[in-house]
Copies of this chain bind each other. A is one copy, B any other.
Amino acid sequence: MAGNSFGTIFRYTSWGESHGPAIGCVVDGVPPRIPLAEADIQLYLDRRRPGQSRFTTQRREPDQVEILSGVFEGLTTGTPISLLIKNEDARSRDYETIKDSFRPGHADYTYWTKYGIRDYRGGGRASARETAMRVAAGAIARKVLGESVRIRGALVQMGPHKVDRAKWEWSAVDDNPFWCPDRQMAQHWEGFLDGVRKAGNSTGAVIEIVAQGVPPGWGDPVYGKLDADLASAMMGINAVKAVEIGAGFAAAAFSGAENADEMRMRGGEVEFLSNNAGGILGGISTGQDVVLRFAVKPSSSILIPKRSVDRHGKEVEVTTKGRHDPCVGIRAVPVGEAMMAVVLADHLLRHRAQCG
């Protein structure tokens, strides 16, 4: 219910359309007395912000977040934190041409069939602009998790081109406009994506998110499992079509003897000898890294004309002008990190509620 809220104890409610006056969210359930300032949130919003390279939409939004409640003298008070970002560079004219037409691969048609009305400007509520609020809520979630939990993401596949895991360097991720952990592949992608962009086309991607430092015991079986909540969180991000945890689809081809992660003792602690489980067994964290991947489809906002229909049942051809990302997967990296943080923060509080 209430399709615009996420989480249970750490719970946020997002609102706003791409071309309305503002977007925002209300984050409820945050523990009191956590230091929080706008800069803590802005840091992550800036990572997601469009217009930072030629590979993301040229829409220029400063995306300055304002905290309107829930923080007093630099500390959270335990009351709801209201965040607001004004929409500034909203060129609604760009969308007049597709006012009545349904862009293939977009939510235009489905919003229309569901609600019988839609704000067609820039995708309205279905716009990826909403993900700014996920990032903002995620920034607060990281504060709740504290320093001991570290969440990082990387783009591991662009179009058909996958990174070489042997060349993985986390330090590389911030050195290229793709969040690519393989420096060599980052260079290759640059050429590939320029080609895609110049062709007025777009490409899909796969993102990997890793959370280190999650203690064992988080997750509520059997319908509030940590992996089920992560799957929901990631699949709910715009354009995501697939989610896998640990070995994921590859596990289907494994034998039981190959798949089970063996355990030994090391320095008095349980140590796993592999991590096919992706840090989750029976819906509960094992203490290993929580590892997941998700696939983002190529944006349907392309310059290549596609056959469609309009709301009057007329057949049309649609070309999406506007300013768009040739690979929306790039900006999905900070969004995926944020959703990981939100799910983990909620489960930290849920675990504490029941198990003390």
Contact = CB atoms under 8 A, between A and B. Distances in A.
A201 interface: yes
A166 interface: no
Contact of A114 (B69, B113, B160, B284): B284
11 contacts: A3-B29, A15-B82, A33-B115, A106-B281, A107-B283, A107-B284, A114-B219, A244-B295, A252-B295, A257-B306, A265-B313
B255 A298 contact: yes
A217 interface: yes
Kindly list the 8 A-B residue pairs having the minimum CB-CB distance in the complex, ordered from nearest: A107-B282, A3-B220, A105-B260, A202-B256, A353-B353, A3-B224, A242-B244, A110-B284
Contact of A21 (B26, B68, B231): B68
Interface string A33-52: 10000000000000000000
Interface of A is mostly: mixed
A5 interface: yes
B114 A16 contact: no
Contact of A236 (B102, B222, B242, B285): B222
B31 A251 contact: no
Interface string A261-282: 1111100101001001110111
Interface string A231-243: 1111110100111
